[in-house]
Structure 1
Amino acid sequence: MKFNSIKISFIFFLGIVLFSCNSDKAKKEQYTVVNEVKQTFVGGNTCIACHEEEYKLWKGSHHDQAMKIADSVSILANFNNTSFTHNSVTSKFYKKDGNFYVNTQGKDGKYHDYKIVYTFGFTPLQQYIVQFPNGAYQCLLTAWDSKKNKWFHLQPNLDIHHEEWMNWTGGSQNWNTMCADCHSTNLHKNYSDKDQSYKTTFSEINVSCEACHGPSSEHVKYYEQENPTGTPPKSHMETGMDSKELVQKCARCHSRRSQTTDYYNYEGHFFDHYEQRLLIDPIYFLDGQIRDEDYVYASFVQSKMYSLGISCRDCHDVHSMQLKKQGNDLCLTCHVPAQYNTPEHHFHKENTEASQCINCHMTGRYYMGNDFRRDHSFRIPRPDQSEKYDTPNACNGCHDDKSAKWAADFIKEKYGEQRADHFSDHLLKGYFEDKEGFHEVIANSAYPEIARATAVNQLMNQNITQDDVTKLIAYLNDDSAWVRAETVRAIEKTGIDTYNASLQPLLKDTIRMVRIATARYFNMKNIDVNADPNFDKANKEFLNQMELNLDFASGQHQKALYYQSKNNNEGAIKCYEKALKIDNFYNMSRMNLALLYYQNGDKTKSETLYKKVIEQEPNFALSYYMLGLLYNENGDTSKSLKYLKLASEKEPASVNAFYNYALKLQENKDFNKAEKAVNRGLKSFPNNERLLYIKTIILVNSNQLSKAYQTCSVLNTNYPNNQNYQQLMQNIQLSIQNN
């Protein structure tokens, strides 16, 4: 039997979330129809004369303070020759000639003086921005705690190397891409991949009136008339707007998303401009609760309140963003006090922190070091899920000296045995028990769209059958853009290209992100649909999105995959190399680049890259596995066995690693080790066909015929239609009889 050589398809690590539809009829997506007259930005000061009260509420708000020119008024921090040290890096803050400066470590590892040009935010922290020569603006990771009046580090638990993407000079703190679109008005990033430069522009430095209401030239022109007649031009956000449309428009900035268009033009649906992240670890816990920063939208759309028509404006003043009422009074605006604001409901002493609705139904977490933000999914505590799946819950968040079982038993005692059905019950089932749980979430249109789309996405991490794919096809025509899109991506991941006729109508979907997803599908499959008149538009949108994100390592990675789909390996190599220049720790690109180098005959470069991955991620199994295959191809049995063994011991566990390690051992007639290796594999992947087969061969070759017969019996029971396995079993039986 021959050892599997390097015949592994490229590792397609996808970093985008998309949407889709298989119907000629328009989907019921709500959004305001923009006036045909193209409006321009005129500045927030033009609004004051008519909207003085709204202006007063906005003045001093987080939107107003989102970004300011750095001066003695806007800067809150102490720049009077102060310093702060984090992980041996000391930053010194001082003033010179009326300007504000920091002396700190740059990308080259050396210390430099940097002028502060902008402030970012004001409470509970304020960041400071430095301008770089290529038009990039970078946010310092050392920030000012404006409540405790002291310097602190935004990532206190991380030891960040000066060359890392996470460093303040790297992509994670790049204002142009990571921050600007939501902190200023009418932002145009204007990135050039040719020379890796920015020419970013904005109309107003902060989040002014037109950031939310859209360009207002026609609005102002209409009301400047002495006797206005006719219909006033529509504003992007108006009084009386549908609640879900309002949430969608706020989502533009209050969400964990990426851009799909050059700039936001105030037209169309949220998903015509942005891609929202799904409820996937590490941003969310597996039940959908917040883990990393989510900026509220994705948690809120999980809630029952959202489904019933509650929106941001019901709790927050839309101009000051302050809560309309404090404490339980806010919740009791809608919820009956006698039913909920009593010890008989919350079982805590009245008028205490424990009796506050938000502390049971809006648990929170600290982000950026000192910024406490609450989970807006408004969920009922589920310690029973914590007991079973190790998810967090509000009860044990306070009663951390008690077990999840204690909390679950208390809930049963006080509220009864049955819990209200929640999508998380089935989502968690899909992760930990049976993939059918994912199907249950997808099929229930009453569940939140984001949960259903997440279930589609995560289903593809399971052992997928043809029946699973058949079920998914129906969702190409789902009412949810989220679900349609994830279904497109799921079908792409299957590698099956027999559903092209079902996918092609999605090229004219009403939502841009769905069209992009579909164009991507046909591109990555290299399927020619140029004859379809809808492909040209969708493809331009797909290519534009790809170009837009080239200042991200993930963006370069995506373009590299695109080049590979077109058999342009030279272009792919350049993009992978650019990705690593942007982020030296972006090992998805390093792994793919190593394989391309290998296929081009440069085994030395390939070996170097795999070793670099191992150096940076010593527990990542795939790099060891690929090195093991490479050494096998080179005829270095000793090194091949060494790295294949390590691959079988690292994470994530891989059938290929166990299979090839066992196969190589039995080639060397080390049958005892080979059997042990395959048995370890079967613990992780019970009844796996390849592992059962190689185990049978190992047992036959080591003359353990009775055990070989038993293993082959299991193989035939699980895979009864394979005649080769039937013949193998007969041969083993004959050998036993002859012995």
Structure 2
Amino acid sequence: MKTFLFVLLLAIAPFGVLHAQDAPSYVGSETCRDCHEDAAQEWDRSHHAQAWMTPSAQSVKGDFDGTRFVHDGMEVEFSTDGADYFAKVTEKDGVTTDYKAHTVAGIEPLQQYLFETGNGRLQSFDVFWDTERQEWGHLYPDQDLPPNDGLHWTGPYKNWNARCAECHATGYKRNYGPQTRSYRSTQAEIGVGCEACHGPASAHIEWTTGKTPPAGLTETGFPMDWTDKEAAIQQCASCHSRREALEDGNPLSGTPYHQTYALSLLRPGLYYPDGQMLDEVYVYGSFLQSKMYAKGVTCMNCHEPHSGELRAEGTAVCTQCHSLAGNPDFPSLPIADYDSPEHHHHPEGSEGAQCRNCHMPEKTYMQVDVRSDHSFRIPRPDLSSETGAPDTCTTCHEDKDPAWAASRIAEWFPDTKHRQPHFGSAFARAQIDPIRASGDLLGIALDEGHAGIVRATALYLLQGAASADLAGQTANLLGAPDPLVRASAASLQQAAPPEERLQRLMPVLGDPVRSVRIAAAKAVLNVPQTSMTRSQQAVVGAGVQDWQRSLRTRLDFPETHLVLGGLALTMRNAQAAERAFREVVEMDPQRAEAWPMLVRLAHINGGPQAARRVLIEALNTVPGDPALLQLQEELSR
């Protein structure tokens, strides 16, 4: 059987295991109900409780009574025998397969169904039930997704074990076996149960009998302390964020976010230049931009924690603070009447008078799921022409343009301070010419008045203009309080000369936050070991192993093997690199960026004939790819 793991990963010792006697264990949500019935009833109606369910007459909302759905050459026949639910799927290549619904995901506004496809794999079906329209729909109605496409519902990007289950379960572990490409996934409970947020409760149960909890837990026996505002936000963010996981499955509740995740910054493709959500980014990155976060507002100031519902309806959820009464918990808040035409300049009770419609613009994902931007931004139609970002005013006033909206706001608020320069202008310019935008980006990165995620993004965008000078100018940010800033500053140090880079990053390799240490390890990877002392080699080696351990938990991701291929090339190991890029195309044949590397590596390792064989395979899979056509020309000479 072929081996495809990078050799350095094989040399790493297995992960340390937290033994049962050293940590509390899961007891299940039903056990919590015995004492916490009111909270349990609130939770029963929450989306958390219904995030992942076994199929039943109560949980299944879709019409399985002999219905059919046809889309782009694919046909599905839904049926039930009263106990189980089935889908007969005929793909556009003509192959028909019968599936039994394994489990159900979500409750509204759509519900998805999970099917087993072998080797422990659960795949989320692209045909969903629209609970509002009461009809079947397709998540990607405009895309051509044949069965051999990585984005097909049977492919790696729709794999429930790897991509979804962690945030739909309690105590989840993926347990992927890379040699067999199979899963032995486990969880304490499907659905987001009590212990998903509070942590394993066995020590709490013992506390109720008078036993003192072990060290490291709260006085009531939990690993998570919900009185810590920042910890509370980060606990919610562990699922409500776009991020790269650094561990397998759910970390213990209360674990600091940046120890186990690398948060996606305000990158092109994920966010508009002004920080508005573009792709599905799941709230946290938006919220970190807000003044509300900066002033200590938490998720639970607006959302009831057990039901997940808003604490009040309509504008009332906002006026619990933004009103003439104010809120003593936030003394810096200006006292004013915001829920009035003098502020919103729309008729009372109209859609334009709703706070969320101006300050939390909505975007629809998964065809029917409307989500609100949580950066709580001041409308800036005057920036739309620069940033290309949506303008919330003309989203409603479709017959007008942003210039009209900007002039109206200028009339209403002639003396406002909210039309000052915005980071979005610099971020938009950086996407076109990062070198010309570098001065503004540097200013943003060094300005402590900006949110940490904004400063970190400025440093990220500066990589397009990276130089030894910029690395030196940002070196002080390696000690910034925000781990996002420290990690981005570490990445920018790759432009520094090796000796200076090593000197600056040695302390960062010992940073208390794992995501920062990994960023530093990546930045020193190509520093020659001959230029290091033995103690420096040990520190760098530990940092690189930290990164490798995180990669090892994501070997079921094609993206991981792209990284491993690059890592192998850095280490001048062409055979390991070829194995890594081969694994990429085995998982997702349409990853066009992997094929040219595979052709070149086949040439290095096996000669021209081997390269030609791989090239033919590549062109049959991604015909017309410019890089492959260029290689074809080179190999034909």
Normalised by the size of structure 1, how large is the TM-score?
Answer: 0.76
Could you say which residue in structure 2 is the equivalent of 1:359? 357
Alpha-carbon separation, structure 2, partners of 1:177 and 1:409: 48
Could you say which residue in structure 1 is the equivalent of 2:7? none
The answer to whether 1:563 aligns with 2:574 is no
The equivalences for 1:177-216 within 5 A come to: 177-216=162-201
User: For 1:318, which of 295, 305, 326 is the aligned residue?
Assistant: 305
User: For 1:141, which of 126, 129, 138 is the aligned residue?
Assistant: 126
Could you say which residue in structure 2 is the equivalent of 1:650? none
Tell me if the contact between 1:316 and 1:323 (Cα under 8 Å) persists in the aligned partners: yes
* Distance verdict in 2 for CA 1:389–1:229, change over 3 Å: closer
* Distance verdict in 2 for CA 1:539–1:229, change over 3 Å: closer
Could you say which residue in structure 2 is the equivalent of 1:680? none
Could you say which residue in structure 2 is the equivalent of 1:383? 381
* Distance verdict in 2 for CA 1:112–1:525, change over 3 Å: farther
Tell me if the contact between 2:590 and 2:622 (Cα under 8 Å) persists in the aligned partners: no
The answer to whether 1:274 aligns with 2:261 is yes
Could you say which residue in structure 2 is the equivalent of 1:99? 84
Tell me if the contact between 1:43 and 1:203 (Cα under 8 Å) persists in the aligned partners: yes
Could you say which residue in structure 2 is the equivalent of 1:476? 478
* Distance verdict in 2 for CA 1:480–1:229, change over 3 Å: closer
Alpha-carbon separation, structure 2, partners of 1:633 and 1:580: 21
Tell me if the contact between 1:272 and 1:511 (Cα under 8 Å) persists in the aligned partners: yes
Q: Tell me the percent identity.
A: 32
1:351-389 Cα offsets, whole Å, 9 max, x none, are 101111100000011101100000000101111111233
* Distance verdict in 2 for CA 1:385–1:44, change over 3 Å: same
1:198 is displaced (CA, Å) by: 0.4
Specify the structure having the higher radius of gyration (Cα). Answer: 1
Secondary structure (helix, strand or coil) at the match of 2:255 reads coil
Could you say which residue in structure 1 is the equivalent of 2:135? 150
Structure whose residues are more often helix by fraction? 1
Could you say which residue in structure 2 is the equivalent of 1:374? 372
The answer to whether 1:504 aligns with 2:506 is yes
Q: Match for 1:546: what amino acid?
A: L
Tell me if the contact between 1:525 and 1:565 (Cα under 8 Å) persists in the aligned partners: no
Could you say which residue in structure 1 is the equivalent of 2:43? 58
Q: Match for 2:612: what amino acid?
A: T
1:535 is displaced (CA, Å) by: 4.0
User: For 2:399, which of 398, 401, 416 is the aligned residue?
Assistant: 401
1:38 is displaced (CA, Å) by: 1.8
Tell me if the contact between 2:121 and 2:159 (Cα under 8 Å) persists in the aligned partners: yes
Could you say which residue in structure 2 is the equivalent of 1:392? 390
Could you say which residue in structure 2 is the equivalent of 1:450? 453
Alpha-carbon separation, structure 2, partners of 1:171 and 1:560: 18
Could you say which residue in structure 2 is the equivalent of 1:729? none
1:194-241 Cα offsets, whole Å, 9 max, x none, are 110100000011111100001111111011239999983453444432
Secondary structure (helix, strand or coil) at the match of 2:289 reads coil
Q: Mean Cα displacement is larger for which, 80-89 or 604-613?
A: 604-613
* Distance verdict in 2 for CA 1:584–1:495, change over 3 Å: farther
The equivalences for 1:711-730 within 5 A come to: none
Could you say which residue in structure 2 is the equivalent of 1:692? none
Alpha-carbon separation, structure 2, partners of 1:289 and 1:265: 31
The answer to whether 1:306 aligns with 2:293 is yes
Q: Mean Cα displacement is larger for which, 400-409 or 104-113?
A: 104-113
Secondary structure (helix, strand or coil) at the match of 1:456 reads helix
Q: Mean Cα displacement is larger for which, 349-358 or 593-602?
A: 593-602
Tell me if the contact between 1:560 and 1:573 (Cα under 8 Å) persists in the aligned partners: yes
Could you say which residue in structure 2 is the equivalent of 1:23? none
Could you say which residue in structure 1 is the equivalent of 2:278? 291
Could you say which residue in structure 2 is the equivalent of 1:437? 440
Tell me if the contact between 2:276 and 2:373 (Cα under 8 Å) persists in the aligned partners: yes
Alpha-carbon separation, structure 2, partners of 1:553 and 1:450: 27
Tell me if the contact between 2:387 and 2:425 (Cα under 8 Å) persists in the aligned partners: no
Secondary structure (helix, strand or coil) at the match of 1:340 reads coil
Tell me if the contact between 1:301 and 1:377 (Cα under 8 Å) persists in the aligned partners: yes
1:37 is displaced (CA, Å) by: 5.2
The answer to whether 1:488 aligns with 2:474 is no
1:345 is displaced (CA, Å) by: 1.5
Alpha-carbon separation, structure 1, partners of 2:42 and 2:394: 38
- Higher-RCO chain (CA-CA 8 Å, sequence separation at least 6): 1
1:593 is displaced (CA, Å) by: 1.8
1:608 is displaced (CA, Å) by: 4.1
Alpha-carbon separation, structure 2, partners of 1:107 and 1:294: 31
1:623 is displaced (CA, Å) by: 5.5
* Distance verdict in 2 for CA 1:227–1:588, change over 3 Å: closer
Secondary structure (helix, strand or coil) at the match of 2:389 reads coil
Secondary structure (helix, strand or coil) at the match of 2:118 reads coil
Secondary structure (helix, strand or coil) at the match of 2:516 reads helix
User: For 1:222, which of 200, 207, 226 is the aligned residue?
Assistant: 207
Alpha-carbon separation, structure 1, partners of 2:283 and 2:38: 27
Secondary structure (helix, strand or coil) at the match of 1:369 reads coil
* Distance verdict in 2 for CA 1:229–1:262, change over 3 Å: closer
Aligned CA RMSD, in angstroms, stands at: 2.7
1:444 is displaced (CA, Å) by: 1.1
Number of aligned pairs? 593
1:607 is displaced (CA, Å) by: 4.8
Q: Match for 1:427: what amino acid?
A: F
Q: Match for 1:311: what amino acid?
A: T
Secondary structure (helix, strand or coil) at the match of 1:151 reads strand
Q: Mean Cα displacement is larger for which, 382-391 or 587-596?
A: 587-596
1:77-101 Cα offsets, whole Å, 9 max, x none, are 1111111111111111112473111
Tell me if the contact between 1:185 and 1:210 (Cα under 8 Å) persists in the aligned partners: yes
Alpha-carbon separation, structure 2, partners of 1:616 and 1:266: 48
Tell me if the contact between 1:594 and 1:606 (Cα under 8 Å) persists in the aligned partners: yes
1:569-617 Cα offsets, whole Å, 9 max, x none, are 1111111111111111112222322332344433524654775687365
1:557 is displaced (CA, Å) by: 1.0
The answer to whether 1:590 aligns with 2:600 is no
Could you say which residue in structure 2 is the equivalent of 1:166? 151
Alpha-carbon separation, structure 2, partners of 1:154 and 1:229: 47
Alpha-carbon separation, structure 2, partners of 1:598 and 1:389: 44
Tell me if the contact between 1:573 and 1:593 (Cα under 8 Å) persists in the aligned partners: yes
Alpha-carbon separation, structure 1, partners of 2:383 and 2:84: 54
Secondary structure (helix, strand or coil) at the match of 1:542 reads helix
Tell me if the contact between 1:180 and 1:187 (Cα under 8 Å) persists in the aligned partners: yes
Q: Match for 2:141: what amino acid?
A: P
* Distance verdict in 2 for CA 1:247–1:350, change over 3 Å: same
Mark the runs of 5 or more structure 2 residues left unpaired by the alignment: 1-20, 325-335
Secondary structure (helix, strand or coil) at the match of 2:101 reads strand
